[in-house]
Amino acid sequence: MKGDAQPLIKFFDGSDKRFIIPLYQRNYDWKEDNCEQLFQDLIKLHNSDRKSHFFGSIVSSIQSGTEDRYIIDGQQRITTVSLMLIAMVNAKKEGLIEADDTKLVEKIFKRYLVDEYQEDERKVKLKPIKKDMQAFDALLYKPKNQYIKESNVTRNYDFFYEKIIHCGLTLDELFETIKKLEVINIRLDEDDDPQLIFESLNSTGLDLSEADKIRNYLLMSLAPAEQDDLYSRFWNPIEEFTKYDPSSFVRDYLTMKQGKIGRIDRIYFIFKEYAENAGVDRAALLEDMHHYARIYSQIDNAQVGADKLNRKLNQLRTLDSTIAYPFFMAFFDYTSKEGLSENEIYKVIDVIEAYWARRIICNLPSNALNKVFATLHRDVLNHISKAGSDSVPSYLKVLTYVLLKKGRSSVFPTNEEVAGDFVSRQVYKMPTNQRMFILERMENRDNNERHDVVKELTEKNITIEHIMPQTLSDEWKATLGADWERIHQQYLHTMANLTLTGYNSQYSNLTFAKKRDMEKGFKDSAFRLNNYVKSCEQWTEAELKQRQQELLLVFMNLWPMPTTSFEVTKQEAESASLDDEDFEFTGKKLQAYILHGVRYTVNTWKEMLVQVCGHLLLEKRSTLEWLCANEKSGFHTMPESWRRELAPNMYVWTDNSTATKISILNGIFAECNIPTSELIFEFRSDHEGEYEE
């Protein structure tokens, strides 16, 4: 095995050389955002004085007796750059890009794309696997109307074609920049096993983590002395604060800063974009991250203040409260700067806990909380800033107002909703962390003398006991009466029938009287949850209903419905963004939409859909062509009366409900890799029917 660094274009160069993608490789699958990243890197490289840009490694083996290279690793990069070269050649042939060197197109075509002396009928240098090869060859030899639009090869070619003709560079400038792409060229010897190496590269290789990439981005371009200084002062403490998991911290940091949640496997690129747009130097950015990492650590360890406050935060930690970390990081930073009292801080967390607990008992989706906590602090501050300096409302009042105004999947359940769901909620079947949270709080309530229920359950020193057992004996059936089957099914896993014990295995399915009176039975129990149980003579539906009501009262006292005197003083125009899953768009009349910060006036949903598609057609034409070719997300290549034309052979379905239009937009934005938060709708005050256009 031999390897050296060399320009990628040198790897392409040479006669009698083909690049063969082995059949065991996957199809070409680079996404548009990968292509976008490469093209932006090239533009930045052109605008800088850097002489090279590392573009990864290529592992290949040489077929005996030929110069053909079997590509073991690196096919995605080779194919992508080949598509860019084809797009450059075609754009110049069509007169859409300038070139100073009149022979450059011929040079690119003959030296890097084809081997005109190849004896085979097919003279193209790159040989993708069969399905990709048909699409690839069409780009070189066929007219546009014969391109295979449904292929990812064509889709990325179209992307580069549009970028090339609009980037403002000449063919010469772009080619000179591509020549700066450098790779590690690893060539296998005849006795190396390509398949074994392929498996090793794709299954046991140690990729850089997102945090590794972020650290390198922040430090590598600095002078050695500054690298050491910033690493010691900021980055190393960040790793310690985050228990050596900075990637999760950076995601929460970005969520707090941007109000939107990024995919953990894309955090490096999201961070890089944020850092480049932040307008601060590396030291200032690292210092800010260090500041919030310290707060992150305090939250993660429930060490934010006095014991009472820490205990309150620790109760939420049982719920795997990391989804709330973006809010808590911003909130505790705010409390420190604004000097909020510990009493108000405690009450804020109390409202958060009530919101969470009520949603759990009403079985509402926990994933909705991600978006709530991503923007909650910002929403509160927006209302406070609009209130005016003469009558600044308390943080607690405004936060309560914001949460009470939530709807649909983010709703704050009312007393009536809680009471209705409490009687039937299958507490025993809840996720473990939710079940432990509810039982711990229902057991200890707000008493100073406490049982560490979560720890004891986790360590299996205590267990959850079904008072009426999961398997009924004949004696139990007789006690419950003729309706025993319904009672068992209705109450078995509900709060009314659950308690805590350290002697579960001894109880088995004994009768209630034996469970109560045996040594270390319910009568001897120190758990508060057994106080009513030990006073009962039997365990029938009557006792279950009575305990149900008593525990419901405990629940309501622990997590009361909050109230607030805060109200907005000025009626604002109603608006919602495309990413607002809680908003009911049906029945709303549009007056405008905002895309990428620019406001456009419209009268109907249909008009908006067509206009937004038009904007995206300019931004992401290749993606929309691919959607039409594959009939995805309401797009098509054929006209119909219910479709509107966007461009030749490109149509979108418009004669449908508001909900369907929203679904189509979500599909487009996902495929174009554009955050749905970039599209905001403004509504008129009057209402409409569901199928208004």
Q: Examine the domain organization and report whether 518 and 631 are in the same domain.
A: no
Residue 49's pLDDT is 83
Average pLDDT for 24-49: 87
How sure is the predictor about 104, in pLDDT bands with cuts at 50, 70 and 90?
Answer: very high
Domain count, the chain: 4
Report the predicted TM-score, pTM, of the whole model to 2 decimal places. 0.73
Residue 64, pLDDT above cutoff 90: no
Q: Examine the domain organization and report whether 29 and 166 are in the same domain.
A: yes
Distances (CA, A) of 7 to 58, 160, 197, 435: 11, 21, 23, 59
Q: Examine the domain organization and report whether 214 and 184 are in the same domain.
A: no
Q: Say if residues 140 and 157 touch (Cβ distance below 8 Å).
A: no
Does any domain span residue 311? no
Does any domain span residue 308? no
Q: Examine the domain organization and report whether 199 and 214 are in the same domain.
A: no
Which domain range does residue 437 map to?
A: 421-558
How sure is the predictor about 328, in pLDDT bands with cuts at 50, 70 and 90?
Answer: very high
Does any domain span residue 192? yes
How sure is the predictor about 596, in pLDDT bands with cuts at 50, 70 and 90?
Answer: confident
DSSP conformational letter for 2: E
List strands edge to edge, sheet with 588-595. 575-577, 679-687, 588-595, 598-601
Average pLDDT for 9-34: 80
Residue 693's pLDDT is 44
Which of 271, 301, 331 terminates a domain? The answer is 301
Q: How far is CA 588 from the centre of its chain?
A: 28
pLDDT digits (tens, 9 = 90+) for 248-269: 999 999 999 988 888 888 888 8
Nearest CA to 139 out of 91, 175, 171 is that of 91
Residue 262's pLDDT is 83
Residue 300's pLDDT is 93
Residue 3's pLDDT is 67
Distances (CA, A) of 425 to 59, 356, 430: 57, 15, 9
Nearest CA to 349 out of 331, 369, 375 is that of 331
Q: Examine the domain organization and report whether 589 and 478 are in the same domain.
A: no
Beta bridge partners of 108: none
Average pLDDT for 322-327: 94
Higher pLDDT among residues 332 and 14, named by residue: 332
Residue 153's pLDDT is 94
Average pLDDT for 550-569: 92
Which of 268, 301, 334 terminates a domain? The answer is 301
Which of 174, 203, 232 terminates a domain? The answer is 203
Q: Say if residues 594 and 682 touch (Cβ distance below 8 Å).
A: yes
Does any domain span residue 387? no
Residue 687, pLDDT above cutoff 50: no
Does any domain span residue 635? yes
Q: Examine the domain organization and report whether 601 and 542 are in the same domain.
A: no
Residue 206's pLDDT is 44
pLDDT digits (tens, 9 = 90+) for 617-647: 988 888 999 999 999 889 999 999 899 999 9
Residue 218's pLDDT is 87
Task: Say which residues have a Cβ less than 8 Å from residue 115's Cβ, sequence separation at least 6.
Answer: 15, 16, 17, 18, 123, 125
Residue type, 620: K
Q: Examine the domain organization and report whether 70 and 163 are in the same domain.
A: yes
Higher pLDDT among residues 3 and 618, named by residue: 618
Does any domain span residue 319? no
Q: Examine the domain organization and report whether 139 and 271 are in the same domain.
A: no
Higher pLDDT among residues 305 and 194, named by residue: 305
Q: Examine the domain organization and report whether 213 and 187 are in the same domain.
A: no
pLDDT digits (tens, 9 = 90+) for 172-222: 999 999 999 998 888 876 666 655 555 555 544 445 678 888 887 888 767
C-alpha to C-alpha distance for 522 and 515, rounded to whole angstroms: 6
Q: Examine the domain organization and report whether 545 and 593 are in the same domain.
A: no
Three-state SS at 659: helix
How sure is the predictor about 62, in pLDDT bands with cuts at 50, 70 and 90?
Answer: confident
Q: Examine the domain organization and report whether 75 and 160 are in the same domain.
A: yes
Looking up residue 616, the CATH number of its domain turns out to be 1.20.1380
Residue 139, pLDDT above cutoff 50: yes
Residue 318's pLDDT is 87
Q: Say if residues 305 and 345 touch (Cβ distance below 8 Å).
A: yes
Average pLDDT for 80-103: 94
pLDDT digits (tens, 9 = 90+) for 390-436: 677 899 999 999 999 988 788 999 999 999 999 999 999 999 999 99
Residue 513's pLDDT is 92
Residue 117's pLDDT is 74
Nearest CA to 669 out of 575, 576, 578 is that of 578
Residue 205's pLDDT is 41
Residue 51's pLDDT is 87
Does any domain span residue 329? no
Q: Examine the domain organization and report whether 192 and 247 are in the same domain.
A: no
Quickly list DSSP for 545-603. Answer: HHHHHHHHHHHHHHSPPP------SSPPPPEEETT-TT---TTEEEEEEEETTEEEE-S
Does any domain span residue 135? yes
